Amino acid sequence: MNLMPFFTPVLLTGVYLLGRRRALRESGRQTSSPEKKGGDTESQADGPRMVDQFLYDRCCRYMADRKPFLVESFSLNDLAGALYTNKVYLSKTINYYSGKNFRNYINYYRVMYAMELFRRNKSLTMSELGSLSGFHSGTTFNQAFKAVMKESPSTWCARLRKKSRE
């Protein structure tokens, strides 16, 4: 089993951070604390970094390929462990690149999956769609669907059913 793909991000992150720390030291800026005034971290103040983008891409690829969001109890800790990273760093990266917090990020994938399920099988009920997509309850499914699609799941499904009959 080749473990190099798993260690490559860790190595790249370490190499990048060492180079960044050295550059900051040479320029005379302090490197002891990444916190800046106002609570902004270094990556937020300096803008996106290549390492952050790489982590976000890996995260999106993992979500699309493995579909861990289908597990009702899936958490930030689970995702961070699967990607071999820190949960705080992962959370900040998701927030920065997606504009969503972790829960909304997961719910987005769940809603997209529910829509795909319905396109394949238009006889599914709303509660079946919600539970097959990883939602704990119908209420949570409705709220998340409205947040993503700006309409209720039943309205969206009715519109899709009507469109398929025409």
pLDDT digits (tens, 9 = 90+) for 54-79: 999 999 999 999 999 999 999 999 99
What residues does each domain of the chain span?
1-15+48-99, 107-165
pLDDT bucket at 13, cuts 50 / 70 / 90: very low
Angle at 102 between CA 98 and CA 108, to 5 degrees: 65
With H, G, I as helix, E, B as strand and everything else as coil, classify residue 162. helix
Q: How far apart are CA 156 and CA 115, in angstroms?
A: 9
Token pair of 26, please? 């040479």
Q: How far apart are CA 37 and CA 164, in angstroms?
A: 55
Q: Among 3.40.50.2000, 3.30.420.40, 1.10.150.20, 1.10.10.60, what is the CATH number of 107-165?
A: 1.10.10.60
Q: Is the pLDDT of residue 3 over 90?
A: no
Residues 6 or more apart whose Cβ sits within 8 Å of residue 65: none
Angle at 68 between CA 153 and CA 89, to 5 degrees: 105
pTM beyond cutoff 0.75: no
pLDDT bucket at 47, cuts 50 / 70 / 90: low
